[in-house]
Amino acid sequence: MDVKIGLEIHCQLTNLRTKLFCGCSSDYRGDEPNTHICPICMGMPGTLPLLNEKALEDGVAVALALNSEIQPRMTFYRKNYFYPDMPKNFQISQFDGGDGVPIAKGGFVELDVGRRIRIRRIQIEEDPAKLVYFGTIDTAEEVLIDYNRAGIALVEIVTEPDIKTPREARLFLQKLRDILEFLGVSDGSLEGSMRCDANISLGEGTRVEIKNISSFKEVERALRFEITRQRRLSAEGITVQRETRHWDEARRITVSLRVKETEEDYRYFPEPDIMPVEIPKHYVERVREALPELPQRKKDRYVEDWNVPVQNALILSRSPRLSQLFERCVGLGADPVEASNWIVGDLLSYLRELKLPLDDPKVKAEHLVEMLKLIEEGLISGKIAKEVLLESLKTGKSPEKIVEERGLTKIDDEAILERLVEEVFRENRKAVLDASLNDEAVNYLIGQVMRKTAGKADPVLTSKLIRVKLSQVKVG
């Protein structure tokens, strides 16, 4: 039975300085509860919403990046329902249907695996408040409300049910997060900035909605569980109910929410306090021109223009900081392929080891380029370069300085190396005998020379000298 998954993602526009309808600072994380509030976002009587002009700009940017069709005139609608996280007991949102027009319709996202996931619509709306419990939602006697988040600008992205597997869902979300990060409109690493609900159906079966999914990994888990659950029901001849289920992260199951006898009715109608917004073509073009290059294009450019291996290109293009670092290196003259290898390989693993973030000041494109130059000029070996890179990340010193201070310059003076090779031959007679029969023992001898030179011996030259000497031994 084929699986159809659709996602509904809410992303905070974290780069806006203020909330969607009031001038409260949007930078609330880490602050005391209810300190980023005002009469407007608290829904006090007599207050009126005032639309943030930059939210429109960000919305248009998102729509462009998702290849979505921006509507020439959009309106805001009220979604009416009561809940403790709602300051007005209605949410100012958008509606697609009747006289309602969201900011954009249609669109798609290309996954790296080559699949295209279609977007149904994009809309702008306000975030509700945050609910906190002492204990768990089941045991707490009351709910505590923090309105800092109430009124934060959200962009809601709804996909068509094109996603076929839980893994694809995760890939889609990662791709979306990367795109939003590249646009600079939403920082997916901020807690709670991206939330997702999923819809899933199997074959001709009905759609089940899954809410309360806290991370991308959980999305995959929740969907996997749900597929299993629905398959089992089908196998037993039981019809899957159309319902909303809640993902219980601790128990790793979806749970049916209490079946209400009464069904919610949102009674959408146009928001009287917000005037319609016309989005002229020239405005859209202005936003388009200011858009940064997006991951897809970057990856293609790296591969096509610079011959960067695809795997490297994928990793580099996904991260704004990595791609920035990489492009800067190339801009400073580094060979793109070499640079990509070193960044994706050693640099990233050293950063993990040292627990350094990518934007740490010690991570410098100039240093990387310098190091690559030293290798190219034959002054240090690749092995030494790894050490130099590590130290540069630890201390922030430039590679040249480190090489100088520690005297790490590659030894490629033939005379010196000759003498060292002779020394090694003298001290390792058995290995020499083995080496004349077995090629692998040659590496052992090379290794010994490296040891004596603390890795500084030019490996190619050393290898040549050893083989020459071996051939002389054979003869002699």
Partner 1 sequence: MNEHISKKEIQHLSWLSKIKLSENEVEELAPQLNRILNYFDELQKINTENVPATYHVMELTNVFRKDEVVSSSPDIILQAPNRRGRFIAAPKII
Partner 2 sequence: MKGGELNFMTQMTEYGFKEASIEEHVSALFERISRLEPEIHAYITILEKEALQKAKRLDEALKKGLAKGKLTGATVAVKDNICTKNVRTTCGSRMLLNFKPPYDATVVNRLEAEGAIIIGKTNMDEFAMGNSTETSYFGPTRNPFDLSRVPGGSSGGSGAALAAEMADLALGSDTGGSVRCPASFCGVVGLKPTYGTVSRYGLISYANSLEQIGPMGRNVEACKLHFEAIAGYDPMDGTSIPRELRRPVERRGEFKVLAPTQLLGEGTDPRVEKTVLNALSKMETVELEVRSGDLPSLSAALPAYYVIAMSEASSNLARYDGVRYGHQEPWKHDWDETYSATRAEGFGVEVKRRIMLGTYTLSAGYYHKYYVKAQKVRTLLITEFKEAFKRFDLIAGPTMPILPFRIGEKVKDPLEMYMCDVDTVPANLTGFPAITIPCGFVEGLPVGLQLIAPPLGEELLFQVAKLIEDELNLRIPRLNG
Residues contributing to the site for partner 1 (CB under 8 A): 16-18, 22-25, 32-39, 42, 44, 50-56, 73, 75, 82, 84, 89, 99, 131-132, 137, 140-147, 258, 262, 265, 267, 270, 272, 274-278
User: Are 77 and 93 spatial neighbours (Cβ–Cβ below 8 Å)?
Assistant: yes
- Residues, the chain: 476
Bridge partners, 130 (sequence order) = 146
User: Measured between alpha carbons, how far is residue 376 from residues 42, 364, 369 in Å?
Assistant: 63, 19, 10
Q: Residue 56's binding partner, choosing from partner 1, partner 2, none, with beta-carbon cut-off 5 to 8 A by kind?
A: partner 1
Residue 38 C-beta: closest distance to partner 2, Å: 9
Number of residues located near partner 2, criterion CB under 8 A: 32
By CB under 8 A, name the one of 8, 10, 51, 452 that touches partner 2: 51
Q: Which of 80, 341, 436, 463 binds partner 2 (CB under 8 A)?
A: 80
111 binds, among partner 1, partner 2, none (CB under 5 to 8 A by kind): none
Least CB distance to partner 2 at residue 49 (A): 7
Q: What is the smallest separation between the CB atom of 43 and partner 2, expressed in angstroms?
A: 5
For partner 2, the binding residue among 137, 143, 255, 433 (CB under 8 A) is 143
Burial (CB < 10 A; 0-12, 13-18, 19+), residue 272, is exposed
Nearer to partner 2, 99 or 405 (CB): 99
How many Cα atoms within 13 Å fall on the side-chain side of residue 327? 15
Query: Is residue 149 a contact residue for partner 2 (CB under 8 A)?
Result: no
Q: Which of 8, 15, 33, 50 binds partner 2 (CB under 8 A)?
A: 50
Q: The tokens of 232 are what? A: 């089992």
If contact means CB under 5 to 8 A according to the sort of partner, which of partner 2, partner 1, none does residue 47 touch? partner 2
Q: How far is the CB of 183 from partner 1 (least distance, A)?
A: 16
From the list 344, 271, 278, the residue with the least C-alpha distance to 308 is 344
- Residue 233 binding: pick among partner 1, partner 2, none (C-beta 5-8 Å cut-off by kind): none
Residue number with CB closer to partner 1 (58 or 391) = 58
Cα 88-89-93 angle, rounded to 5 deg: 85
Question: CA-to-CA distance for 90 and 272, rounded, in angstroms?
Answer: 13
Rounded to the nearest 5 degrees, what angle is found at the Cα of 166, between the Cα atoms of 165 and 168? 65
Torsion over CA: 278, 280, 283, 284 (sign): positive
If contact means CB under 5 to 8 A according to the sort of partner, which of partner 1, partner 2, none does residue 17 touch? partner 1
Residue found by looking up tokens 């509606």 in the block: 95
List phi, psi (to 5°) of 110.
Answer: -90, 125
Of 142-150, 185-193, 399-407, 466-474: span binding partner 2 (CB under 8 A): 142-150
**In whole angstroms, how close is the CB of 10 to partner 1 at the nearest point?**
20
CB of 357 to partner 1, least distance (A): 27
Rounded Cα–Cα distance for residues 417 and 465 (Å): 8
Q: How far is the CB of 260 from partner 2 (least distance, A)?
A: 10
The residue with tokens 């209490």 is 258
Per-position b or e across 221-231, b if 16+ CB within 10 A of its CB? bbbebbbebbb
**For residues 108 and 134, is the Cβ–Cβ distance under 8 A?**
no
Both tokens of 238, joined, read 């039981």
Neighbouring CB atoms inside 10 A of 102's CB total 27
Would you count residue 56 as binding partner 2 (CB under 8 A)?
A: no
Query: Does residue number 278 form part of the binding site for partner 2 (CB under 8 A)?
Result: no
Q: Which amino acid is at 332?
A: L
| Interface with partner 2 (CB under 8 A), residue from 25, 39, 366, 396 | 39
Residue 108 burial by CB count (10 A; 0-12/13-18/19+): exposed, middle or buried?
middle
Closest CB 98 distance from partner 2, rounded Å:
7
Binders of partner 2 in range 233-272 (CB under 8 A) = 265, 267-269, 272
Among 2, 32, 45, 357, binds partner 2 (CB under 8 A): 45
In this structure, the number of other CB atoms found within 10 A of the CB of residue 38 comes to: 14
Among 19, 78, 175, 299, binds partner 2 (CB under 8 A): 78
Tokens representing 378 are 């034959």
314 binds, among partner 1, partner 2, none (CB under 5 to 8 A by kind): none
Pick the binder of partner 2 from 33, 43, 100, 447 (CB under 8 A): 43
> Could you tell which of partner 2, partner 1, none binds residue 90, using a CB distance below 5 to 8 A set by kind?
partner 2
The residues with which 5 forms a beta bridge, in sequence order, are 163, 200
Residues that bind partner 2 (CB under 8 A): 39, 42-51, 78, 80, 82, 84, 87-90, 98-99, 142-143, 145, 265, 267-269, 272-275
